[in-house]
Chains A and B, each alone.
Chain A
Amino acid sequence: MIESFNKNIKGILINEKNPEEMIKSFKNNIKGILIEGLTLSSAIIIIAIVVVMFTVIFIGGKDQITWEFLTSFPEDGMTKGGIFPAIYGTALLVILMSIAAVPFGTITAIYLTEYAKESSIIAKTIRFAVRTLAVIPSIIYGLFGLGFFIKFVGTQMDNAFLGGELKWGQPNILWASLTMSLLTLPVVIVSVEEALKTVPKELRAASLALGATKWQTIWKVVIPGSISGIMTGTILAVSRGAGEVAPILFTGVAYYVATLPASLSDQFMVLGYHIYVMTTQSANVDQTMPIQFGTTLVLLMLTFILNFSAIILRYRIRKKKID
């Protein structure tokens, strides 16, 4: 054993002095450096993209952000004035969307983690459906919302309650919010499921062994133990919804409305769509440039703040789990 080990050591030492081997090892070193450099520069490009994007938007938009800009209506064919209706519409949209998506998603996640057996066909089918929902292009949600909520549900409602008078059978904030909630549902389900799974099995067993029913265990042990995870899911969903435009294109967003939405059957303005409108539909694109930058900055800050709070919450959950 020791003899052969010594021989090997000698072999290596001799090889180090062999010129051919030295060239080979030099080549390997060069190759290593090149690869490291290549991977590093790709990573730097990513950072550069973020920095450039933020800098351009920030410099272009920072002077635009005034109290006036945030709280007033657009004026003069949207070439002047503020973006208040778009902020208000975005907020209302994400609130209504959360009211629909969060309870529905949470209940589904509770079914999947607490009730369904891992191997059951129902659970597998639900998981497959959730994964599928997550990869459907958002424009298709918009078309679905138009076809299902507006043309089918809305028209049926008008026929049944209003004698065919057109009220619900057209785009409005209710249908837009529901369409958006379908889009964000997978995000909610997956993050709530993850949160529920962080509650140890031993705690469920402890509760059941004390004579608690399954529902008491879920309500008093599992949900309180995962509440921050459920909130993270909600925030991520809201942040995703706040930035999306495609699902609401056909279902409720307006180019311009002179009044704030006062009823669920009203149309509304949204930040993301407002940017699109000003860059492509405006009579004078150059004149709207500062407003475009301002709106973009507001939207960016909004989603950034939402995501950042989700990250903090998630970090706190992980920490708690380790403790």
Chain B
Amino acid sequence: MAFEKIHTEKMVLHYGSKMALNDITISIPEKKVTAFIGPSGCGKSTFLRSLNRMNDLIEGVTIEGKILIDNINIYDKNIDVVTLRKKVGMVFQKSNPFAKSIYENVAYGPRINGVNDKKQLDEIVENALQNAAIWEEVKDRLGDSAMGLSGGQQQRLCIARTLAVNPEIVLMDEPASALDPLSTSKIEELIVELKEKYTIVIVTHNMQQAARISDLTAFFYLGQLIEFDKTKKIFTNPEKKQTEDYITGRFG
């Protein structure tokens, strides 16, 4: 078994008094693609957002239990959220580039980390854009506004922006759900390439997508982790009936 990058134990999350996640215990290995699937409102996105503490931004969220990343509880009092988020990057459902140039979007993360050397920045930006498979499309217009890119390009730019901070884990919240099939397949190829260097956790509504790109799949239902196993096993021979019902389209 590969090294456990992320490990949660009896994790419970409440929105105010409403329980959104109940007793989640899971071990996510490093440098693999792990997919979270499940019907809308099952808690998979909420769980993803707990892994880089983006839920801190939402009023009334309380979390119990343990979430360990590299064996450190990220909800410990002495954890610096800013440092955590540099290590655990996130790509959102809707591409959200800043109203800045392509170059400045990617350079944003390094810059706030204090990298100001032009040469060093150039190098980081080029590497990130290459890793996100968009360098060839934008290398001649790095100074243009990012808002002029297509939706698929914007999403790959957002991935490049995340990679520029040099994270170890990349969380993706339905990164291709707003894209056309061609852009989606580009993003999917990219995700498979990225697992060589990064631990990827992806939330998806698209079960074919989970089957195509992930090594492991976790099925969430009504705030509970129903089943977590190798993707192949989940899609061919699931243990639980609820999982089978969901992947065969009988509900959800």
A residues engaging B (CB < 8 A)?
Answer: 117-119, 200, 202-203, 205-213, 216, 220-221, 224-225, 323
B165 x A211 contact (CB < 8 A): yes
Which partner residue on chain A sits nearest B89 by CB separation?
A: A209
Q: Mark B53-70, 1 if CB is under 8 A from A, else 0.
A: 010010100000000000
List, in ascending order, chain A residues with CB within 8 A of B97's CB.
206
When A117-B59, A205-B57, A220-B108 are in contact, do A212 and B82 touch as well, CB less than 8 Å? yes
C-alpha gap A118/B57 in the complex (Å): 13
Which of A200, A210, A213 is within 8 Å of B108, CB to CB?
A: A210
Which of B54, B83, B98, B99 is within 8 Å of A208, CB to CB?
A: B54
How far is the CB of B47 from the nearest CB of chain A, in Å? 16
Instruction: Determine if B5 is an interface residue (Cβ-Cβ < 8 Å).
Output: no
A213 x B82 contact (CB < 8 A): yes
Mark out the residues of chain B between 77 and 99 whose CB falls within 8 Å of any chain A CB in the assembled complex.
82-83, 85-86, 89-90, 92, 94, 96-99
Instruction: Determine if B8 is an interface residue (Cβ-Cβ < 8 Å).
Output: no
C-alpha gap A225/B147 in the complex (Å): 13
Q: In this complex, which of A209, A220, A221 has the most chain B Cβ atoms within 10 angstroms of its Cβ?
A: A209
Instruction: Determine if B112 is an interface residue (Cβ-Cβ < 8 Å).
Output: yes
B residues engaging A (CB < 8 A)?
Answer: 52, 54, 57, 59, 82-83, 85-86, 89-90, 92, 94, 96-99, 108-109, 112-113, 147, 158, 161-162, 165
A-B contact number at CB 8 A = 62
Which partner residue on chain B sits nearest A117 by CB separation?
A: B59
B96 x A205 contact (CB < 8 A): yes
How far is the CB of B90 from the nearest CB of chain A, in Å? 4
Q: List 27 A-B contacts (CB under 8 A).
A: A118-B59, A119-B59, A202-B92, A202-B96, A205-B96, A206-B92, A207-B98, A208-B54, A209-B85, A209-B89, A209-B162, A210-B85, A210-B109, A210-B112, A210-B161, A210-B162, A210-B165, A211-B83, A211-B109, A211-B113, A212-B82, A212-B108, A212-B109, A213-B82, A216-B112, A220-B108, A323-B147
B92 x A205 contact (CB < 8 A): yes
How far is the CB of B98 from the nearest CB of chain A, in Å? 6
Q: Which 6 A-B pairs have the closest CB atoms?
A: A211-B86, A202-B96, A209-B90, A210-B109, A211-B85, A206-B96
B98 x A209 contact (CB < 8 A): no
How far is the CB of B200 from the nearest CB of chain A, in Å? 15
C-alpha gap A207/B109 in the complex (Å): 8
A212 x B112 contact (CB < 8 A): yes
How far is the CB of A10 from the nearest CB of chain B, in Å? 49
Which partner residue on chain B sits nearest A225 by CB separation?
A: B99
C-alpha gap A220/B111 in the complex (Å): 10
How far is the CB of B132 from the nearest CB of chain A, in Å? 14
A202 x B94 contact (CB < 8 A): yes
B165 x A200 contact (CB < 8 A): no
B108 x A203 contact (CB < 8 A): no
C-alpha gap A68/B107 in the complex (Å): 55
Majority DSSP secondary structure for residues of A touching B: helix
C-alpha gap A221/B108 in the complex (Å): 10
C-alpha gap A200/B147 in the complex (Å): 14
List, in ascending order, chain A residues with CB within 8 A of B96's CB.
200, 202-203, 205-206
List, in ascending order, chain A residues with CB within 8 A of B158's CB.
206
C-alpha gap A208/B98 in the complex (Å): 12
C-alpha gap A117/B61 in the complex (Å): 14
Which of A118, A119, A206, A211 is within 8 Å of B98, CB to CB?
A: A206
C-alpha gap A225/B92 in the complex (Å): 20
List, in ascending order, chain B residues with CB within 8 A of A224's CB.
99
C-alpha gap A211/B109 in the complex (Å): 7
C-alpha gap A213/B114 in the complex (Å): 13
C-alpha gap A308/B104 in the complex (Å): 33
B98 x A210 contact (CB < 8 A): no
C-alpha gap A220/B112 in the complex (Å): 9
Which partner residue on chain A sits nearest B110 by CB separation?
A: A210
C-alpha gap A202/B94 in the complex (Å): 8
How far is the CB of B173 from the nearest CB of chain A, in Å? 10
How far is the CB of A205 from the nearest CB of chain B, in Å? 7
How far is the CB of B57 from the nearest CB of chain A, in Å? 7
- Given A205-B96, A206-B158, 15 more pairs with CB closer than 8 A: A202-B92, A205-B92, A206-B92, A206-B97, A207-B108, A208-B57, A209-B85, A209-B92, A210-B165, A211-B86, A211-B113, A211-B165, A212-B82, A221-B98, A323-B147
How far is the CB of A222 from the nearest CB of chain B, in Å? 11
A208 x B92 contact (CB < 8 A): no
List, in ascending order, chain A residues with CB within 8 A of B82's CB.
211-213
Which partner residue on chain A sits nearest B91 by CB separation?
A: A209
A205 x B54 contact (CB < 8 A): yes
B98 x A203 contact (CB < 8 A): yes
A210 x B94 contact (CB < 8 A): no
A209 x B52 contact (CB < 8 A): yes
How far is the CB of B133 from the nearest CB of chain A, in Å? 20
C-alpha gap A292/B250 in the complex (Å): 83
List, in ascending order, chain B residues with CB within 8 A of A208's CB.
54, 57, 85
List, in ascending order, chain A residues with CB within 8 A of B59's CB.
117-119
